[in-house]
């Protein structure tokens, strides 16, 4: 399934989600800039907060998949696509590189956090959380998000995405209380491939979108 834009995909998701959550305490948490464009359509109709969880992946030499991910608060998760034995080998061989990458990624995220509009734990506590992205090639971003959310008291956690691979859907069923996925793709190419219009603006404009939703929600 292809979509004209992320805005259109968000509107289609909102048609499924809004009737079930209208009047409930919800927070839409985007997992990337593209997820903000999708999630804004849901948050507008639910009259709820929209926020962005910053995460970064850590890769190692000669590995085509990320070995780990880290969120803006420092919560850290290894990629569960690797076996525990493989992870132990990576840590044994690349421990200092992994630790250096952690610090580098945290510095990059702190620089972006200074621009505002990003996730605040007080805005999502005791609410239904709807994790939104514009596409999931695998479930790794969800693992990192769940690690971030673990110490925060929430009601239920849902995942909403216009498209996802079979592997990502399997992970969603394990991690989330409910999922909303418009298209399951067996041979996932890249997220951009499934959108006719590349409508993710520069990061500063993404932050402005979040701030406008928050202002609308507070009013």
94-128 pLDDT tens trace = 999 999 999 998 887 777 665 554 677 888 999 99
Domain map of the chain by residue range?
6-55+115-218, 56-111
pTM of the model: 0.86
Mean of pLDDT values over 56-66:
86
DSSP H helix total and E strand total for the chain: 7, 8
CATH architecture of 6-55+115-218: 3-Layer(aba) Sandwich (3.40)
Q: Please tell me the distance from the alpha carbon of residue 142 to that of residue 131, in angstroms, as a whole number.
A: 8
């Amino acid at each position: 399934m292809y979509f004209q834009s992320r805005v259109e995909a968000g509107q289609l998701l909102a048609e499924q989600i809004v009737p079930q959550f209208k009047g409930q305490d919800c927070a839409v948490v985007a997992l990337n800039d593209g997820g903000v464009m999708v999630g804004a359509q849901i948050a507008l109709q639910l009259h709820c907060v929209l926020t962005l969880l910053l995460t970064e992946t850590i890769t190692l030499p000669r590995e085509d998949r990320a070995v780990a991910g880290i969120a803006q608060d420092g919560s850290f998760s290894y990629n569960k696509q690797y076996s525990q034995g493989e992870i132990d080998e990576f840590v044994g061989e690349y421990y200092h590189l992994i630790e250096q990458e952690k610090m580098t990624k945290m510095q990059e995220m702190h620089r972006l956090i200074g621009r505002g509009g990003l996730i605040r734990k007080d805005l999502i506590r005791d609410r239904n959380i709807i994790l939104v992205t514009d596409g999931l090639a695998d479930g790794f971003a969800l693992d990192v998000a769940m690690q971030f959310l673990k110490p925060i008291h929430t009601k239920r956690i849902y995942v909403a995405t216009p498209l996802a691979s079979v592997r990502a859907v399997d992970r969603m069923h394990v991690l989330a209380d409910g999922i909303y996925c418009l298209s399951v793709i067996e041979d996932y190419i890249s997220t951009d491939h499934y959108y006719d219009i590349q409508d993710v603006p520069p990061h500063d404009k993404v932050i402005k979108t979040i701030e406008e939703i928050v202002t609308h929600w507070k009013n």
